[in-house]
């Protein structure tokens, strides 16, 4: 079935976008300020014009057809460009513009950047708020659907979403946190072979548990001895104090946990560095709010360094 653009009501495309994001007819009705019967009728019209069911109810969710999946990115991108062109979107003012930023975070972000970000928000009376989420199984889909605005991570890990936009907003020395009696911390830096041989805790927010350090070791023909995989520090420091296990972690994250019982040393090279990275969907490249937020990440990293 051939459909010309002039045959499509722009409001029906907005309905498509809302339904794509919410996966619910009732939530879409709320977003568009329509009754549920009116929303269902509009969906029927759109299905007829495009000659495809587009969305069908499965396990309580309105899931997209293959055709809807093909249409999603161009429709959402076009609507985003129109919204930005019509609105005064040349700059983002956090003191005037209300917005919720949804960020898939990692331990470095939550321990080093987030406290500074909240401090800034309180001091400058921002009207924005933040929702921290776990790393998604499908980063591209989570960003495209609006479930996330940004994903924070470390560059160059297996499965890095290369079709997404990214920017480096900081860099860190990488090393090992361990019991102060552990032999690995008796040297100025931890040798890679020693690091790989000791039992360790892997802290990851990725579903498969693989991350930057695994990729780095594999390039050197090494594989680490992972005794425990967790999604955050939690009881990790207690475990380190009571075992001969170690945990790889960046320097500034480690500073939150170094005590008279726990010591951090850098990984050999001897200044091995990781690159802190923010990922977003190409559709969001014109989003001034996202660009503003990444600038705040950089600022917060500098402020945290000054406070130490």
pLDDT tens digits along 207-259: 444 567 888 888 889 999 999 888 777 788 899 999 999 999 889 889 889 99
| Euclidean distance between CA atoms 158 and 137, whole angstroms | 13
Structure tokens at 196: 């790989």
| Euclidean distance between CA atoms 138 and 156, whole angstroms | 17
- Report, as an integer, the average pLDDT of 20-31: 90
pLDDT at 184 over 90: yes
Give the pLDDT confidence score for residue 153 in this predicted structure. Answer: 82
Q: How confident is the model at residue 190 (pLDDT cuts 50, 70, 90)?
A: very high
Q: How confident is the model at residue 162 (pLDDT cuts 50, 70, 90)?
A: low
% of residues, the chain, pLDDT over 70:
88
Give the pLDDT confidence score for residue 79 in this predicted structure. Answer: 82
Question: What are the CA-CA distances from residue 166 to residues 64, 250, 257, 291 (Å)?
Answer: 27, 20, 30, 11
- Report, as an integer, the average pLDDT of 28-34: 87
Give the pLDDT confidence score for residue 88 in this predicted structure. Answer: 56
Domains observed in the chain: 5-86 (1.10.10.10), 99-165+276-307 (3.40.190.10), 170-274 (3.40.190.290)
The mean pLDDT of the chain is 85
Selection from 281, 287, 293 nearest residue 84 by Cα: 287
Structure tokens at 248: 């790889």
Model pLDDT for residues 65-105, shown as the tens digit of each residue:
999 988 988 888 788 777 766 665 567 899 998 899 999 98
Give the pLDDT confidence score for residue 239 in this predicted structure. Answer: 92
Is the peptide bond prior to 56 cis by the omega test (within 30 degrees of 0)? no
Number of H helices, E strands in the chain: 12, 11
| Backbone φ, ψ for residue 98 (5° rounding) | -75, 135
| Euclidean distance between CA atoms 20 and 69, whole angstroms | 9
Question: What are the CA-CA distances from residue 187 to residues 197, 232, 248 (Å)?
Answer: 16, 27, 16
Model pLDDT for residues 245-271, shown as the tens digit of each residue:
999 988 988 988 999 999 999 998 777
Q: Which residue has the tokens 């080093």?
A: 112
- Report, as an integer, the average pLDDT of 35-52: 90
Give the pLDDT confidence score for residue 81 in this predicted structure. Answer: 72
């Amino acid at each position: 079935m051939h459909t010309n653009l002039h045959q499509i009501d722009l409001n029906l495309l907005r309905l498509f976008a809302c339904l794509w994001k919410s996966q619910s007819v009732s939530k879409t009705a709320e977003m568009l300020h329509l009754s549920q019967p009116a929303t269902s009728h509009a969906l029927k019209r759109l299905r007829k014009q495009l000659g495809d069911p587009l969305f069908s109810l499965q396990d309580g969710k309105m899931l997209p057809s293959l055709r809807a999946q093909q249409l999603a990115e161009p429709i959402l991108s076009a609507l985003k460009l129109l919204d930005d062109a019509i609105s005064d979107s040349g700059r983002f003012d956090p003191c005037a513009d209300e917005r919720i930023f949804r960020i898939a975070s990692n331990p470095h972000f939550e321990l080093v950047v987030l406290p500074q970000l909240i401090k800034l928000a309180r001091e400058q009376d921002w009207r924005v708020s933040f929702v921290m989420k776990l790393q998604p199984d499908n980063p591209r889909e989570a960003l495209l659907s609006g479930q996330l605005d940004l994903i924070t991570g470390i560059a160059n890990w297996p499965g890095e979403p290369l079709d997404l936009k990214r920017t480096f907003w900081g860099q860190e020395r990488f090393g090992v946190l361990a019991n102060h009696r552990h032999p690995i911390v008796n040297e100025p830096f931890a040798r890679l072979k020693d690091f790989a041989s000791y039992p360790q805790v892997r802290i990851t927010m990725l579903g498969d548990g693989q991350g930057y350090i695994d990729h780095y070791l594999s390039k050197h023909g090494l594989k680490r001895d992972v005794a425990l995989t967790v999604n955050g520090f939690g009881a990790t420091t207690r475990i380190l104090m009571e075992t001969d296990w170690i945990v790889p972690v960046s320097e500034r994250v480690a500073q939150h946990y170094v005590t008279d019982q726990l010591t951090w040393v850098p990984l050999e090279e001897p200044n091995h560095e990781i690159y802190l990275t923010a990922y977003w969907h190409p559709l969001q490249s014109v989003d001034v709010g996202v660009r503003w937020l990444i600038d705040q990440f950089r600022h917060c990293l500098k402020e945290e360094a000054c406070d130490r």
